[in-house]
Amino acid sequence: MKKFLFSILFLACSFCWLNAQIAENQLVKIAKFKDNKPAAISYTFDDGMKEHYTRVAPELEKRGFRGTFWVNGNTINRNEPVTTDTTRTNWSELKEMAQRGHEISNHGWSHKNLTKLDDAGVMEEIRKNDSIILVRVGIKPVTYCYAGNAKNDRVIRLASAGRVGTRTFQRSIGSKATDESLEKWVAELIEKGEWGVGMTHGISYGYDYFRRPQVLWNHLDYVKSIENKIWVGTFREVSAYVAERESVRLKIIRKKNRLKIIPSHSPDSKLFDEPLTLVVNTEKKTIKSIRQGRVHLKYRQISPAEIIVDLDPGGKQIIIDYAER
C-alpha cells in the first residue's frame, strides 16, 4: 500500500514538474523571422548589371528595402575613364551600394559552372572573387551564388565553408513575371511561413529582362503595403537569422519578478551575428527593464501579454525585471 501511495505521489509530482517546464517553455520563444513577421523575402540580382545601380538600388531604397547583388569580378568595369562594358556596373558604384546597406556578394570570378571543375578550380573561382570584392568594396562576402544555379553536394560543401549560406533555391523574377503571379507567390509565403528568394538578372536588357519593368516596381509597392507580414532582408541577413534560430537554445530561470534567459549559440558568433527576435509572454506584468549584459534593450508590445525584443544570440544572459505587484 505504501509503495502504491508513493508511486501515486511520484507521478503527481512529476506531472506538476512537467507542467511547470511546459509553462516556462511557453514564456519565451525565438520568432520564426525578424520582428515576429510570418514570412521573409530576399531580393537577389545576378551578374552586376549597370541598371542594378542606376535603377534597382534606388527603387529598393525608396521603400526602405535592401538587396543582394551577386557579381563576377572579371566582368565588373574598372574605375577608369573609359568604360569597357556599358551594360555592367563598376567597383566605385558597388562600393557605394554597399555603403548604402546593400549586400555585394560572390557569384564566382568568371561565372563558371563549378560542377565541371575539380576542387582546386572551384576554390580558385570562389576565392579570387572574394579577394577582389574585399579589396574594391571593403567587405568580404559571406554568401555565395552558383553561376547558372549549377551545384551538387561537393560544390555546395566547398562553397559553404566560412559562409552563412549559399543560394540553393530561388524564384525567378523576370520576363515571365506578372503582378498576379508575384502576388500569389507572396500570399503562399505568408500562408506557409516561408522564406522566398527572388532571382533577377536584367531589367530592361540582358538575360531574362522584364518586358515591362513596372511589374517589379509594382511588386515592391505591394510588399511594402503589407510589410507587417513580410521581412525584406538581404540574403546574408535572412540566412544568418535562420541558421541562428535553428541552433540557439534558451535556458530559462524564472523568479517572482525576474526572468533570466541564457542563450547558447553553436555557430561562429563572429560570422553569425544577426540579432534574433525574442517573443516573451509577460503574463500581463509591467516590465521595469530588459538588459543583455550591461546593454539595455528596447522592446515592443505586440499584444496585452506579449512583447518582442532583439537579442544577441552569442551574447550574455538576458534579464527581464518586472515591477512589484
pLDDT in tens, 58-83: 999 999 999 999 999 999 998 766 67
pLDDT over 90 at 4, yes or no: no
Q: Are residues 178 and 79 in the same domain?
A: yes
- The pLDDT of residue 85: 83
Secondary structure of residue 119 in the 3-state scheme:
helix
Residue in the structure block whose three cell numbers are 547558447 = 264
Give tens-digit pLDDT for 260-293: 999 987 778 788 989 999 999 998 999 999 999 9
Looking at residue 211, its pLDDT comes to: 93
Name the band, by pLDDT with cuts 50, 70 and 90, for residue 15.
Answer: very low
Q: Average the pLDDT over 96-108 and give the result.
A: 98
- For residue 88, the 8-state DSSP code is B
- Mean pLDDT of the 5-32 span: 52
pLDDT for the residue numbered 268? 84
The pLDDT value given to residue 188: 98
Query: Which of 193, 215, 240 delimits the end of a domain?
Result: 240
Quick: pLDDT tens for 133-143.
999 999 999 99
Look at residues 169, 160, 42, 152 and name the one whose alpha carbon lies nearest to residue 102.
42
Burial of 118 (C-beta count, 10 Å sphere; 0-12/13-18/19+): exposed
Last residue of a domain, one of 211, 240, 269: 240
Report the C-alpha gap between 281 and 284 in whole angstroms. 8
pLDDT of 24 strictly over 80: no
Given 240, 274, 291, the domain boundary residue is 240
pLDDT higher than 70, residue 9: no
On whether both 286 and 147 belong to a single domain, the answer is no
Q: CA 2 to CA 4: how far, in whole Å?
A: 5
Q: Given strand 287-292, what is the order of strands in its sheet?
A: 249-254, 258-264, 318-322, 287-292, 295-296
Rounded Cα gap, residues 263 and 315, in angstroms: 7
pLDDT in tens, 203-215: 999 999 999 999 9
Q: What is the mean pLDDT of residues 188-204?
A: 98
Task: Kindly state whether residues 178 and 293 are assigned to the same domain.
Answer: no
Cα separation of 214 and 297, whole Å? 41
Question: How confident is the model at residue 314, as a pLDDT?
Answer: 84
108-126 average pLDDT score: 98
Residue 178 has pLDDT above 60, yes or no: yes
Q: What 3-state class would DSSP assign to 242?
A: helix
- My answer on whether 192 and 308 are in the same domain is no
Tell me how far apart the terminal alpha carbons of the chain are, to the nearest angstrom: 45
For position 8, what pLDDT does the model report?
38
- Asked, for residue 22, whether it belongs to a domain, the answer is no
**Are 234 and 302 found together in one domain?**
no
Residue 275 is classified by DSSP as P
Query: What does DSSP say about strands 230-232 and 39-46: parallel, antiparallel, or unpaired?
Result: parallel
- pLDDT surpasses 50 at 164: yes
Give the CB-side neighbour count of residue 258, counting CA atoms within 13 A. Answer: 7
Cα gap 204→174, rounded to integer Å: 10
3-state class of 321 per DSSP? Answer: strand
Please give the tally of structural domains in the chain. Answer: 2
Burial label, 15 (beta-carbon count in 10 A; 0-12, 13-18, 19+): exposed
CATH number reported for the structural domain that contains residue 307 in this entry: 2.60.40
Q: Are residues 318 and 210 in the same domain?
A: no
pLDDT of residue 266: 73
The answer to pTM > 0.85 is: yes
Q: How much is the average pLDDT of 148-168? A: 97
Residues 221 and 283 both lie in one domain: no
Same domain, 203 and 260: no
- For the cut 50, the answer to whether the pLDDT of residue 12 exceeds it is no
**Per-residue pLDDT at 16:** 37
Q: What is the CATH number of the domain that holds 113?
A: 3.20.20.370
Q: Domain of 293? A: 248-325
The verdict on 181 and 93 lying in the same domain is: yes
Q: Residue 25's pLDDT is what?
A: 57
| Per-residue confidence (pLDDT) for residue 29, from 0 to 100 | 94
Q: Evaluate whether residue 21 is within a structural domain.
A: no
Give the model confidence (pLDDT) of 302-314 as tens digits: 999 999 999 998 8
